[in-house]
Every structure is written in C-alpha cells, then in structure tokens.
Chains A and B, each alone.
Chain A
Amino acid sequence: SQQGEEDPQALSIQEGENATMNCSYKTSINNLQWYRQNSGRGLVHLILIRSNEREKHSGRLRVTLDTSKKSSSLLITASRAADTASYFCATDATSASKIIFGSGTRLSIRP
C-alpha cells in the first residue's frame, strides 16, 4: 500500500519559475525523503529530512516537514529543463525500517 500521496500529480511550469510539490503521509515517521526519477531511469535520492527537523536546504531544493499535519513540501527554485522528471516522497516509518513511496508528481519544465 502507498504511504504517501503527492500533490499535484502533474505540474508544468516555465523554465526559471519555482516548482512546489506536496506530500501527505499516514503514519509516524523517522524521516521523509524525496527522490527524483528521470524517464526510464532509476531513482536518485535528493534530500532527507528527519522527523525533528522542520526545514532543510540543498542547493536549489528546499524541503519542509510538518509532522502535526503529516505533510511535506519540496520546492525547486529557478527551475531548469533538466529538472523535468518525476518526484517521489518516501517515508521511513517508526514502526518498521522500510521505505514506502508515494505516487509521485510528474514535473515538466517548458523552455
């Protein structure tokens, strides 16, 4: 079963704009992770945010976590064509050390 749900399912923006994706989950977590997947390729780990953290930055990425609402957001600033990919949130639940993925957001960057 899917733990997380991403919103929106698909997003198309102009190059240079910011892209925001949201993730909601169901159970208590140790951490939440965001992954990127280019078409036909494997998953690439982007960033991990621990349950006791509220915000984390990595380059053009900004992730927030609200454990009271069981939600997270991924912001990509100054988007580039190379950011076109599917983005997944994944949760590491406290009840068991397994990583469960959401359904993903397909991001398209228009030139």
Chain B
Amino acid sequence: EAGVAQSPRYKIIEKRQSVAFWCNPISGHATLYWYQQILGQGPKLLIQFQNNGVVDDSQLPKDRFSAERLKGVDSTLKIQPAKLEDSAVYLCASSFIDRAMNTEAFFGQGTRLTVV
C-alpha cells in the first residue's frame, strides 16, 4: 500500500516570499491533516479536511496560510508571505475511521521549510 506522499522534501525561501506544499494521501482516506512541527516540539494541527470540506482550521494563521483539497484527494498548503517563525517541518497525514470509530493517522515524510 502506498503511503502518504509529500513534496518537496526541503525548501529554503526568503522571508516575505511565497511557498506551497503538496500532499497526496493514502487512497480511500477521507480525512487529511496538515501539521506544523517546530524543532523540539510536537506536531501542531493546522487544518483538517473531511473529503474536500474543512473540519477544523482553528490553529491556521489565516492571514498568511491557506489550504485546499480539491476533489477530496490531493491537498496543497500555501504560505504567503512567509515569516522567519514559519521555519518548521510541515507534515501531512491521512486517516480512515474504523468500525469502532477509531482514527489512526498515517504520516508523510514532511517538508522541511527554512525561511531566511
């Protein structure tokens, strides 16, 4: 079974520039998550999609971050304009809900963003 695919693996940009990350979840997984992980911290949920609808984006800095999941499959996360504090690893995950209503997430390798 193919895992969650993310690209690019690494990105270095200057502050105030724009950047976009791409995620292809596991086939059939209705739920897709974007997490931000700053060095030394746990992943922080930015946004959660159920199919192509947003379930939770309460932690997403909407003045500069945006995300979409067209057709309920692939997703892109964009930062515009980037700030130094956005330097982090951006993790995409997908999940399904089993019969017992339990959710297990499968993660991609992440995109390491450095803003200079």
Contacts and interface: CB of A to CB of B under 8 A. Distances in A.
Nearest to B56: A98
B21 interface: no
A99 B42 contact: no
A45 to B, nearest CB: 6
A103 interface: yes
B42 A97 contact: no
Contacts, number: 67
B87 interface: no
A90 to B, nearest CB: 8
A100 B45 contact: yes
The size class of the interface chain B forms with chain A is 20 to 34
State the main secondary structure of chain A at its contact with B.
strand
Given A42-B91, A104-B41, A99 B108 contact: no
Contacts of A60: none
Given A40-B112, A44-B107, A45-B105, 12 more contacts: A1-B59, A2-B42, A30-B101, A31-B103, A33-B104, A35-B107, A45-B107, A48-B104, A97-B97, A97-B101, A98-B33, A99-B45
9 contacts: A2-B44, A4-B42, A30-B101, A31-B103, A40-B112, A90-B105, A92-B103, A101-B42, A101-B44
Interface of A: 1-2, 4, 30-31, 33, 35, 40-45, 48, 50, 88, 90, 92, 96-104
